[in-house]
Structure 1
Amino acid sequence: MFIQTEPTPNPDTIKFLPGETVAGSTGPFDFASEAEAGMSPLAQAIFQVDGVTRVFLGADFLSVSKTENADWKHVRPMVLAAIMDHYVAGLPVIGDGASASQNDEGATTAADYEGETAEIVEEILELIETRVRPAVAQDGGDITFQRYDADSGIVHLAMRGACAGCPSSTMTLKQGIENMLKAYVPEVNAVEAAL
């Protein structure tokens, strides 16, 4: 098994491509701690590596974040070994009954809105799904819609994987995503990271 690695814009996160399905169509999953990773034997194994702080499981990749003072020279080989051991053993990535919706707490859909606001949210969701998410997945992350405030025109997005805690995430939100949403959906006045 050959596992490729790619750097991400976040210096504390590396993207791992095992050449196998990771979360597939059931994901993505974002685990910010070992306690949250209970549903994923793969994430649990990676959290056993000293210095790992976050594991994000995408369709065909995973992003692993480390503490600032840990060195990739030591962490990377241990994470590679944990991934290899997991796949060689034939263990499931995610346990039975798990779904990505468990990771989207607080998220709303167009069905949660009425009238013109529902149409605006539908436009926002389509842009995020077709333009934003594929772009940030290339960098080992994910951005999901949380809510839209029609009174202020503010869109709240959750940053996951390599995007969570990335030094350039604010610039991505403001200069990239906000400008695009404003251009296509005039009712959008600003984009903010969901807390």
Structure 2
Amino acid sequence: MIHAPIIQVEQTPNPDALRLLPGVSLLKGPPVEIAPGDAAAQAPLAAALLAIDGIDRIMIGPDFVTAVRRSAEFPWAALKPQLLAELADFLFSGEPALPASLLPAPPPPAEGGLVAQQIVEVIERYVRPMLARDGGEATLLRFDAETGIAYVRMGGACGGCPSGRTTLKQGIEQAIKRYVPEVTRVESALEEPEPGGDPRARVRSWIAARWPRFNPAAARSSSS
């Protein structure tokens, strides 16, 4: 007799994200965030979940799946049964959550030399397990040795979460600064100016990184 899988559902600090716990191992290695159009979206589990109207992206972790909806216009009361049904069907199939051929290539080493390597180790050992409990993830993009700022990209339930700033400052930053004294501050990668962008925006961001009370919006309006 085949028993139906027991899938636990947990709310996350992000009202637009839900964490599903199937009680089995899904993936070896760090969580993988998947959006429509990604190569990994071709995997059966990802394809089924992303096909649900209202689901924006998912993240598959070692023993959990985080589903992120597009907005509150798609109530969880309607999405949750569909997510559970698709995940249960996948568990019965016996297929891998992410075939090796669809696993994304590992990201390039974060910029910042030895200090960046130390930050990555702290994230893997202390930060990642903490965020995984809420269906989230964090990745170091680079460390700026001149300013001591580590730029981190947050994903899963942490991406777009209303309490993401609190998690970044009270969770991630404190953990990294405790073990890597060279780090003065941790900021979201979204706050880092993109190379080749508006040079005025880069200058404003550079100033804001050093003087937090600086208001880029006010500077833009006064210069126009």
Q: Do Structure 1 and Structure 2 share a fold, with TM-score over 0.5?
A: yes
Partner of residue 6, structure 1:
10
Partner of residue 70, structure 1:
74
Percentage of identical aligned residues = 39
Partner of residue 35, structure 1:
37
Q: What is the alpha-carbon distance in structure 2 between the residues aligned to residue 26 and residue 41 of structure 1?
A: 19
1:61: how far off?
0.5
Partner of residue 19, structure 1:
23
Structure 2 SS opposite 1:151: coil
Partner of residue 137, structure 1:
132
Q: Which is worse superposed, 182-191 or 6-15?
A: 182-191
**Greater gyration radius:** 2
Q: What is the alpha-carbon distance in structure 1 between the residues aligned to residue 70 and residue 42 of structure 2?
A: 23
Q: What is the alpha-carbon distance in structure 2 between the residues aligned to residue 95 and residue 182 of structure 1?
A: 36
Q: 1:79 pairs with 75, 79, 83, which one?
A: 83
Q: Which is worse superposed, 60-69 or 122-131?
A: 122-131
* TM-score (norm. length: structure 1): 0.86
Alignment of 1:1-195 (within 5 A): 1-23=5-27, 25-31=28-34, 33-36=35-38, 37-68=40-71, 69-102=73-106, 104=107, 107-109=108-110, 117-118=113-114, 120-195=115-190
- State the structure with bigger RCO (CA 8 A, min sep 6), 1 or 2: 1
| Change in 2 beyond 3 A, CA 1:122/1:92 | closer
Q: What is the alpha-carbon distance in structure 2 between the residues aligned to residue 97 and residue 64 of structure 1?
A: 23
Q: What is the alpha-carbon distance in structure 2 between the residues aligned to residue 156 and residue 125 of structure 1?
A: 11
Q: Which runs of 5+ in 2 are unaligned?
A: 191-224
Report the AA paired with residue 19 of structure 1.
G
CA contact (8 A) 2:26 2:96 kept: no
CA contact (8 A) 1:28 1:100 kept: no
Structure 2 SS opposite 1:191: strand
1:58: how far off?
0.2
CA contact (8 A) 2:32 2:60 kept: yes
The alignment's C-alpha RMSD in Å is: 1.8
1:39: how far off?
4.0
Alpha-carbon displacement from aligned partner over 1:107-158 (angstroms, at most 9, x marks no partner) = 524xx65xxx41x223212221111111000111111111111111110111
Pairs aligned (count): 184
